[in-house]
Structure 1
Amino acid sequence: MLKPYSCVRLLKYVLSFLAVIVLFASCSKNNEELPAPQYFISATPLGEVSKANVDRRLGSNPLVSSLTKYSFKAYRIIYKTKDLDNKEIQASGAVLIPVTSDKLAIASYQHGTIRSDSEAPSNFAENSEAGLLGSLIASIGYVVSMPDYLGYGVSKQIPHPYEHRKSLATASIDMLRAVKEFCRIERVNLNDRLFLTGYSEGGFATMSMQKMMEEEFPTEFKITASVMGAGAYNKTAFSRYVAAQNSNLTFINYYVWVLQTYNNIYKLNRPLSAFFTEPNATNIQQKGVFTDIDLNPQRLFTSNFRNGIINSTDAEFLNVLKDNDVFDWKPQTPMLLVHGRDDDFVIPLNSQTAYDAMRARGASNVELALVDGDHYSAVPNYALQVYSFFFRFNN
């Protein structure tokens, strides 16, 4: 039988041994070698933004202030992705990481249409979409991944492939992969939830991204929920609508940008005179898509081109549009489609036909919210819808 002092001595030996094991295990964990990044290249700190700063950016609105919670650190990320020829290229974006030890979900936020590189997320201008809505989402408590897309940031030497399904999806997915690798390096405390959202071109990019993730990488990504705002998901029906109009369309230059992008990417190699009447064709050739042109489609586009879309006789161009349609499939993830009722830039037909087609395929997890406002005035409603829909799945 052990004497009392022997028991105490034995207990001390056991506790000392356990302490060494715990210390060794802890050191091993802290020093374990992480796998080499496959997408992440580098990160540049852009500064820390306080909750008070976020509230000020968003107009010191009491409702917004009640939602924001965290300060966050912003970084410019450079990562590997593929260009239009499927060759490796460097791209960039921004990641916002809340300052907290809490477990965090990732929200991939795809920005809307921009015409200047200064508006790209990696530049993180205070009054840009990234600096406002991105900051709001981060301060609420999400790690925010925001790709620049090809044509902005470090890839600004190439034209932006505006409204091109595959390249938008690929750049956004590879950015998300790079952000996950960066979070592992920085030992950010992540949970297993992943949210997707975007507005305008970002809505289309998000829909394209989710479709690619679910269909091509179903085991790599488990999306928790998504919110798409005012995206042009039904390119075919939207183009028929535009071609049939006989009134001025305020945003027709942007439709010309899409047309030019598709003509180049799909190597249709049609001269501008095949699409546009004179002097519109010459003006666009000499001054670019944002020059002064006829706003009425009946005067801007040639009758052959318009009739080929309306009557479905231009098979080549219709196949291009179909390749960029993302409205008719069955999502596996809870999805909310948000659109302003008075949107005359990206008409609500895009969200309505997507909702109808998805529900017809049995996607009971898809919801539609038609909100007050046009393409711009509906943005605050979109932001509130993002918050409330994500909140349902992040608690």
Structure 2
Amino acid sequence: MVFSRISLIVLLAAFVSTTLVGQTLVSISYKGQRSQETLSQQYGFLIQNGVELWKVTYTTPDVFNQLDTASGLLVLPVREETTIYPTLIYQHGTVDGPQDVPSNLQGGYQLALVFGGLGYATLAPDFLGAGTSRGFHPYVHADSEASAAVDMLRAVRGYASQIDLLLNDQLFVTGYSQGGHASMALHRALELDLASEFSLTAASHMSGPYSISGVMRELMVSEEPYNFLAYLPNTYLSYNYVYDFYDDLEQFFKPTYTNAIRNFYEGNIGLSNLNNFLISNLTNEYGAPIARYMLQDSIVTILEDADPSHPVIAALAANDTYEWAPQQPTRIFYCTADDQVKYRNSIVADSVMQALGAVDLITFDVNPDADHGGCVEPAVIQTALFFNSFADWTVGTRDQWDDLEVKVFPNPTSQKLQIHELSEVAAVRVLNQQGQLMLTKELPMGDNELMINSLSPGIYWVHLQTKTGQAIRKVVVE
């Protein structure tokens, strides 16, 4: 039966929600399934399998080091044969409110489905202050973004054998937008603090605000119109919640804006409603949605001076995530036209990490013309291709997705591409650097010639897939 894991766990989850002695997992409940056909129709040809969805709750410390119960979504691949899976942690982007989260099948959970459909046992933490966790969500707070993910990983790995989930030692980390900030914070913790416990395979950080004290601070005190103003009060509320700067909102924001910000803090309105209010009022009063005009003059001065000894500036700097050198293969994907998270976050992160000695770090603009929403698809496709070049899946006694023994040449090329020694029929797909599908064809076993003269000069990914394996090659077209 395909869904062999479900029967026992559904019975347990239906009648029991109790702390498991000696483990940090509190409960697990079944949230449904998606077939491979459904996922393929929604998310494209890279999907390898259907998935099961589970809500997981687990214990983890809050920002005050008090034990809390957090939640997240666990997406498990479904295959006919017993399979040993790699693990992937996906950190989600900014959400509208504390219940707009992956474990409730909201809050960007779709990308967790994609990675599960690619064959990764995927964990998507809700973050602290969201889902089942108490308190205010510590937005772009690096330490808690990392700790919530680490403890979910510990909980799932500790319980995996009891739900017949087989995991290998591979671990992949990624996230988009706020999740990019969170994935970089997690990556840093795994390499610098937890290397003896976890072995990271590769990481991909997508369109994240890595430079809170630099790029994002400068944006908030600039004269540049910005249509995502609510990120500023959300960040202030988060850091004031953690670090306790001020007693009253009017010490930071002008009175016109404090009631709406307080309503958001108290959960009476969502982030989108707050953003609409701020845009409307700033535009009416100043002619454009410029963030600095909602701030008290004294706060503008503090942010402009950027004195590192000031508690506010020190808190911003404490939540930058790039001042270290990744040692495992790492990619940073961004889009120059990003209208929410300025692309310079990625440039700054790359330059500092490279200077500090990053081993295998490439930062790449996946679509210069895409805004924040448009950047998702090419960034995720590039991440999938990158991770798939490392990932191992053991099915029964064979490695299903090891690299095919196939020759792809010449490289560089211009008119033709030779694809030789195929052991079985293969689907070939050629994608550009933006993740767009440029060419697709089925090739017979043996030696083949693929005409590529319709492609413009540039770098392309050639993806070959058979019933038992796949190969991914980077090819330069001249």
Q: TM-score range by the shorter chain?
A: 0.7 to 0.9
Could you tell me how far apart the structure 2 residues matched to 1:194 and 1:239 are?
Answer: 30
Cross-structure match for 2:408: none
Cross-structure match for 1:57: 42
Bigger-Rg structure (1/2): 1
Does the 8 A contact of 2:209 with 2:341 survive in 1? yes
Could you tell me how far apart the structure 1 residues matched to 2:118 and 2:147 are?
Answer: 27
What amino acid is aligned across from residue 161 of structure 2 in structure 1? Answer: R
Aligned-pair CA distance for 1:55? 2.2
Could you tell me how far apart the structure 1 residues matched to 2:290 and 2:167 are?
Answer: 51
What amino acid is aligned across from residue 94 of structure 1 in structure 2? Answer: L
Aligned-pair CA distance for 1:69? 1.5
Where relative contact order (Cα < 8 A, 6+ residues apart) is larger, the structure is 1
Verify: 1:296 aligned to 2:290, yes or no.
yes
What amino acid is aligned across from residue 183 of structure 1 in structure 2? Answer: A
Q: 1:278 to 1:323 in 2, by over 3 A?
A: same
Could you tell me how far apart the structure 2 residues matched to 1:71 and 1:310 are?
Answer: 51
Structure 2 counterpart of 1:123, from 100, 104, 112: 104
Verify: 1:138 aligned to 2:116, yes or no.
yes
Query: What CA deviation, in whole Å up to 9, does each residue of 1:288-335 have, x standing for no partner?
Result: 671623221342222221121222237111111111011111112111
Could you tell me how far apart the structure 2 residues matched to 1:298 and 1:113 are?
Answer: 21
Could you tell me how far apart the structure 2 residues matched to 1:268 and 1:322 are?
Answer: 15
Verify: 1:105 aligned to 2:86, yes or no.
yes
Aligned-pair CA distance for 1:206? 0.8
What amino acid is aligned across from residue 176 of structure 1 in structure 2? Answer: L
Cross-structure match for 1:13: none
Any idea what SS the aligned residue of 2:230 has?
helix
Aligned-pair CA distance for 1:176? 1.0
Q: Give the unaligned 5+ runs of structure 1.
A: 1-34, 59-63
Any idea what SS the aligned residue of 2:389 has?
helix
Could you tell me how far apart the structure 2 residues matched to 1:282 and 1:246 are?
Answer: 24
Aligned-pair CA distance for 1:353? 0.5
Verify: 1:350 aligned to 2:345, yes or no.
yes
Map of 1:137-286 to 2, 5 A cutoff? 137-155=115-133, 157-285=134-262
Could you tell me how far apart the structure 2 residues matched to 1:191 and 1:205 are?
Answer: 24
Does the 8 A contact of 1:340 with 1:371 survive in 2? yes
Q: Determine which structure has the larger strand proportion and give its number.
A: 2
What amino acid is aligned across from residue 38 of structure 1 in structure 2? Answer: Q
Any idea what SS the aligned residue of 1:183 has?
helix
Aligned-pair CA distance for 1:364? 3.0
Q: Greater shift after overlay, 299-308 or 137-146?
A: 299-308
Could you tell me how far apart the structure 1 residues matched to 2:313 and 2:359 are?
Answer: 30
Could you tell me how far apart the structure 1 residues matched to 2:97 and 2:263 are?
Answer: 20
Could you tell me how far apart the structure 2 residues matched to 1:337 and 1:187 are?
Answer: 34
Cross-structure match for 2:71: 92
Does the 8 A contact of 1:94 with 1:145 survive in 2? yes
Map of 1:7-18 to 2, 5 A cutoff? none
Could you tell me how far apart the structure 1 residues matched to 2:322 and 2:83 are?
Answer: 36
TM-score between the two structures when normalised by the length of structure 1: 0.84
Q: Determine which structure has the larger helix proportion and give its number.
A: 1
Cross-structure match for 1:19: none
Q: Greater shift after overlay, 263-272 or 218-227?
A: 263-272
TM-score between the two structures when normalised by the length of structure 2: 0.70
RMSD: 1.9
Aligned-pair CA distance for 1:118? 4.6
Aligned-pair CA distance for 1:270? 4.5
Aligned-pair CA distance for 1:211? 0.9
Structure 1 counterpart of 2:373, from 359, 373, 376: 376
Q: 1:144 to 1:245 in 2, by over 3 A?
A: same
Could you tell me how far apart the structure 1 residues matched to 2:75 and 2:46 are?
Answer: 17
Does the 8 A contact of 1:239 with 1:309 survive in 2? no
Q: Greater shift after overlay, 261-270 or 85-94?
A: 261-270
Does the 8 A contact of 2:340 with 2:372 survive in 1? yes
Aligned-pair CA distance for 1:274? 2.5
Does the 8 A contact of 2:325 with 2:359 survive in 1? no
Could you tell me how far apart the structure 2 residues matched to 1:383 and 1:298 are?
Answer: 33
Structure 2 counterpart of 1:390, from 387, 390, 413: 387
Aligned-pair CA distance for 1:286? 5.5
Cross-structure match for 2:317: 322
Cross-structure match for 2:471: none
Does the 8 A contact of 2:136 with 2:241 survive in 1? no
Does the 8 A contact of 2:323 with 2:353 survive in 1? yes
Query: What CA deviation, in whole Å up to 9, does each residue of 1:232-258 have, x standing for no partner?
Result: 111110243224311321011112210
Map of 1:46-85 to 2, 5 A cutoff? 46-58=31-43, 64=44, 66-85=45-64
Could you tell me how far apart the structure 1 residues matched to 2:77 and 2:386 are?
Answer: 20
Could you tell me how far apart the structure 2 residues matched to 1:227 and 1:72 are?
Answer: 22
Q: 1:37 to 1:72 in 2, by over 3 A?
A: farther
Q: Percent identity?
A: 28
User: How many aligned positions are there?
Assistant: 351
Does the 8 A contact of 1:277 with 1:301 survive in 2? yes
Aligned-pair CA distance for 1:389? 0.8
Aligned-pair CA distance for 1:287? 6.3
Cross-structure match for 2:419: none
Does the 8 A contact of 1:37 with 1:181 survive in 2? no
Q: Give the unaligned 5+ runs of structure 2.
A: 1-19, 266-270, 283-288, 392-401, 403-478
Does the 8 A contact of 1:203 with 1:228 survive in 2? yes
Aligned-pair CA distance for 1:261? 1.3
Does the 8 A contact of 1:243 with 1:310 survive in 2? no
